[in-house]
């Protein structure tokens, strides 16, 4: 469809002007938003982590080896967003087979969980109390994800890939404004746990900007993972310490916070698996867009929105009409996500039907070019799509923590990895495992505490061994089996809209990748108001959108994208944020103008 648009999209994608970039030593730790060259690229939120990935590629490692090394490093430098106490989704493109595969490293509920996990005396527990508790901690999936990725597609051992992060934790890194702010924002709850206070508030104050932060406990934990493998966590001493922290949170004396214990066991840890899942696949223009299937809602929701936009030539629309249709497609796809997506082991999730063009067309006809819809919009029926019809009551979008992280890697052979990992809330549960140096997640708060809509089946209620629904959207785009780009973002439920906005700005609107990432963002998630950054609200387009009936709520920041794309001469471009979260870190093995 729209072949002329496809041709122009691909031409723009392949011949966009380049910016010079130079690979930097880790000691300089510059935050560079774009790097172009050969030999492989890495893009993450952190300079030290990106440099570790480049070092792996320089030493002959492939994209998977580098991705695991970067993820381990982010557990050191970005510990309030990721680490071995959490989980994530790993999307891999194999340049030899031209196949995209995914690993589901999402956390699971313990075997004792049921739909009343977060209910007391007939009422849901207050959300902040659920977050800062052992009750919210899911069985971590990150170490198992690293193991399975390396076994399937890597060339390095876990020992070799984790060693640079261990060294980084021992020697330390320079505290930046983001790290300092994250401790400051969580200081009250961090101070309530003896282990968390000792690590992040040793003298009662957050680590100063410019100081060196070391984490010897985490270094020792990484050493155990290297020497004993992931069974150190799933069957060994690290795991026993995790279970102890969950069941008896290390609450400081005199603390008045109601910190509920969890019920995780060694059996829960020992039974954890990171299964290989088929990716979602959406045909958009002349491209194939692959992402993560349920229990993530990222692939189905981004894919449905793209299908809704498929029949409109967005390259020819005004900026106002482009943004209007982007927001309306997001609104509709979230209405369907909230009703239908959950853990496919526990619910019959209509994944293929949600991604059908027929269903998208039945939803697209609800979009008026002159008037925004009023949220919440009711879902459609993907199994029996009827044009412009809705079924049942609307389901609200529950809150998800925004402090996830994403990394993107490509190597000299053309392999790519898009990997989103998280501990959920900024700082997760707030509980550092004593003597281990890492925070535990609060991923189980991604479950619905009670049915979102009374009387309507909710596929996202807790259950034993169940994975909570996620919005993580690590995405890989191919053209006839060859790499075009890979990207992803943190941001809770706004991950979906962030990835969709960057994709359409790059592929349809022709923005350079770094500019598409830097552009002001808005996120409509079937809510009364569209969340929008201050920079977005200051545009003439935002005022015009208000004239179409859109209403906005201001927020400081949405997402923090990292991405890579292949250039026609075989070189790579890595791109990251120019300012969000202090700016990202794009790196290339061999730079070129």
What's phi and psi for 485, nearest 5 deg? Answer: -160, 165
Distance (Å, rounded) from C-alpha 145 to C-alpha 324? 38
Q: What is the DSSP string of 248-311?
A: S--BPTT--S--------HHHHHT----EEPPEEEEETTEEEEEPPTTBSHHHHHHHHHHHHTT
Q: Kind and range of the H or E element at 314? A: none
Q: How many CB atoms lie within 10 A of CB 115?
A: 16
CB 292 within 8 A of CB 419: no
Per the CB < 8 A criterion, the answer to whether 485 and 564 are in contact is: yes
Residues in the chain: 593
Provide the b/e sequence for 450-467 (b: ≥16 CB within 10 Å).
Answer: eebbeeeebbbbbbebbb
- Report the half-sphere exposure of 498 (CA within 13 A, side-chain side): 29
What CATH number labels 1-111+281-429+469-593? 3.60.20.40
User: What does the pLDDT look like over 174-197, one tens digit per residue?
Assistant: 999 999 999 999 999 999 999 999
* Owner of token pair 């990394």: 407
Using only C-alpha atoms, the chain has a radius of gyration, in whole angstroms, of 22
* CA separation for the pair 272, 285 (Å, rounded): 39
Paired tokens of 339: 């009703």
- Mean pLDDT throughout 101-112? 98
> What tokens does 305 get?
């929105």
Q: Tokens 């979230």 belong to which residue?
A: 334
Cα dihedral 24→475→6→305 (10° resolution): -140
Whether the predicted pLDDT of 43 surpasses 60: yes
Coil, strand or helix at 181: helix
Q: Tokens 């966009």 map to which residue? A: 16
| Residue 236: predicted pLDDT | 97
What pLDDT does 12 receive? 42
Around Cβ 171, how many Cβ atoms within 10 Å?
10
Peptide bond connecting 47 to the previous residue in cis, omega within 30 degrees of 0: no
Among candidates 475, 359, 492, 338, which has minimal Cα distance to 424?
A: 492
Position 11 scores a pLDDT of 43
pLDDT at 258: 96
The stretches of 463-508 forming alpha helices (DSSP H) are 494-507
Distance CA 565, CA 27 (A): 27
* pLDDT reported for residue 23: 31
pLDDT in tens, 464-489: 999 999 999 999 999 999 999 999 99
Angle at 289 between CA 44 and CA 68, to 5 degrees: 30
**Two structure tokens written together for 306:** 């793209």
The mean pLDDT value for 43-54 works out to: 97
Cis omega before residue 396 (within 30°)? no
Task: Give the residue carrying structure tokens 């596929």.
Answer: 459
Identify the band that residue 392 occupies on the pLDDT scale cut at 50, 70 and 90: confident
**Distance between CA 218 and CA 436 in Å, rounded?**
5
Q: Rounded mean pLDDT of 80-90? A: 97
Q: Is 300 exposed, middle or buried (0-12, 13-18, 19+ CB in 10 A)?
A: buried
Name residue, tokens 């927020």.
555
Helix (DSSP H) and strand (DSSP E) numbers for the chain = 21, 20
How many alpha carbons fall within 13 Å on the CB side of residue 218?
Answer: 33
CA–CA dist 506, 83 (Å, integer): 31
How buried is 389 (Cβ within 10 angstroms: 0-12 exposed, 13-18 middle, 19+ buried)? middle
pLDDT band at 401 (very low <50, low <70, confident <90, very high): low
Tokens of 553: 């709520």
Domain map (residue ranges) of the chain = 1-111+281-429+469-593
Mean pLDDT of the 230-244 span: 98
Handedness of CA 320, 283, 303, 476 (dihedral sign): negative
Quote the tokens at residue 78: 């970005």
pLDDT in tens, 550-587: 999 999 999 999 999 999 999 999 999 999 999 999 99
Mean pLDDT across 415-435: 97
404 a catalytic residue: yes
Write down the H helix ranges in 116-190: 127-131, 142-153, 158-171, 177-185, 187-190
Sign of CA dihedral 563, 569, 571, 575: negative
Q: Above pLDDT 90, what percent of the chain? A: 90
pLDDT, position 593: 76
Does residue 7 come out as left (phi exceeding 0), alpha (psi in the -120 to 50 range) or beta?
Answer: alpha
> 466 with 222: CB under 8 angstroms?
no
The catalytic position among 77, 397, 404, 504 is 404
Q: Is the pLDDT of residue 280 over 90?
A: yes
Mean pLDDT of 426-430: 97
As a whole number of angstroms, the distance between CA 458 and CA 449 comes to 10
Please say if the pLDDT value at position 198 is more than 80. yes
Peptide bond into 376 cis (omega under 30): yes
**What pTM did the predictor assign?**
0.93
Nearest Cα residue to 242 out of 218, 225, 274, 266? 266
Specify the 3-state DSSP secondary structure of 212.
Answer: strand
CA distance 236 to 251: 24
Q: Is residue 442 helix, strand or coil?
A: coil
* pLDDT score at 26: 36
Within 10 A of 493 (CB to CB), how many other CB atoms are there?
28
- Tokens 């901690």 — which residue? 137
CA-closest candidate to residue 249, choices 111, 467, 86, 442: 442
Per-residue pLDDT tens for 507-530? Answer: 999 999 999 999 999 999 999 999
* Residue 395's pLDDT band (cuts 50, 70, 90): low
What is the structure's pLDDT at 390?
A: 81
pLDDT tens readout for residues 312-339:
999 999 999 999 999 999 999 999 999 9
pLDDT on residue 4: 39
Q: Residue 396's pLDDT is what?
A: 63
The per-residue pLDDT for 98 is 97
């Amino acid at each position: 469809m729209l072949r002329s648009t496809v041709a122009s999209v691909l031409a723009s994608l392949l011949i966009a002007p380049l910016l010079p970039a130079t690979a930097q030593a880790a000691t300089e730790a510059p935050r560079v938003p774009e790097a172009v060259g050969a030999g492989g690229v890495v893009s993450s939120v952190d300079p030290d982590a990106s440099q570790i990935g480049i070092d792996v590629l320089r030493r002959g490692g492939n994209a998977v080896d580098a991705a695991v090394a970067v993820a381990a490093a982010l557990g050191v430098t970005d510990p309030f967003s990721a680490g071995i106490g959490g989980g994530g989704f790993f999307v891999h493109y194999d340049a030899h087979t031209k196949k995209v595969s995914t690993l589901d490293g999402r956390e699971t509920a313990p075997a004792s969980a049921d739909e009343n996990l977060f209910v007391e005396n007939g009422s849901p527990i207050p959300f902040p109390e659920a977050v800062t508790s052992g009750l919210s901690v899911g069985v971590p999936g990150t170490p198992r994800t690293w193991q399975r990725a390396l076994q399937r597609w890597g060339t390095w051992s876990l020992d070799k890939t984790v060693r640079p992060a261990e060294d980084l934790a021992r020697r330390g890194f320079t505290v930046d404004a983001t790290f300092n702010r994250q401790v400051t924002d969580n200081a009250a709850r961090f101070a309530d746990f003896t282990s968390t206070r000792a690590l992040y508030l040793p003298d009662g104050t957050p680590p100063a900007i410019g100081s060196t932060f070391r984490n010897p406990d985490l270094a020792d934990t990484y050493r155990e993972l290297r020497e004993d493998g992931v069974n150190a966590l799933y069957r060994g001493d690290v795991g026993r310490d995790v279970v102890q922290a969950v069941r008896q949170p290390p609450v400081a004396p005199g603390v008045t916070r109601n910190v509920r214990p969890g019920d995780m066991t060694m059996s829960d840890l020992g039974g954890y698996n990171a299964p290989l899942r088929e990716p979602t696949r959406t045909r958009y223009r002349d491209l194939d867009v692959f992402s993560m299937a349920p229990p993530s809602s990222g692939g189905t929701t981004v894919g449905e929105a793209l299908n809704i936009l498929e029949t409109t030539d967005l390259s020819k629309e005004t900026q106002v009409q482009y943004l209007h249709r982007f927001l309306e497609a997001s609104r509709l796809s979230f209405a369907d996500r909230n009703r239908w997506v959950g853990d496919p082991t526990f619910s019959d999730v209509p994944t293929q039907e949600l991604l059908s063009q027929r269903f998208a067309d039945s939803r697209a006809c609800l979009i008026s070019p002159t008037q925004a819809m009023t949220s919440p919009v009711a879902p459609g029926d993907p199994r029996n799509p009827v044009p412009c019809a809705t079924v049942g009551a609307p389901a609200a979008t529950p809150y998800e923590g925004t402090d996830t992280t994403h990394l993107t890697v490509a190597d000299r052979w053309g392999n790519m990895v898009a990997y989103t990992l998280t501990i959920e809330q900024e700082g997760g549960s707030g509980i550092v495992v004593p003597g281990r140096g890492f925070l535990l997640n609060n991923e189980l708060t991604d479950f619905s505490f009670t049915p979102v809509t009374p009387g309507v089946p909710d596929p996202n209620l807790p259950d034993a061994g169940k994975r909570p629904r996620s919005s993580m959207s690590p995405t890989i785009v191919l053209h006839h089996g060859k790499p075009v780009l890979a990207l992803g973002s943190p941001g809770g439920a706004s991950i979906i809209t962030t990835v969709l906005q960057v994709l359409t700005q790059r592929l349809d609107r022709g923005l350079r990748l770094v500019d598409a990432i830097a552009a002001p963002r808005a996120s409509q998630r079937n809510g009364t108001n569209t969340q929008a950054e201050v920079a977005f609200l200051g545009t003439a387009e935002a005022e015009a959108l208000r004239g179409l009936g859109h209403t906005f709520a201001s927020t400081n920041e949405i997402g923090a994208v990292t991405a890579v794309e292949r250039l026609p001469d075989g070189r790579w471009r890595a791109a990251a944020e120019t300012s969000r979260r202090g700016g990202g870190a794009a790196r290339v093995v061999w730079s070129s103008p």
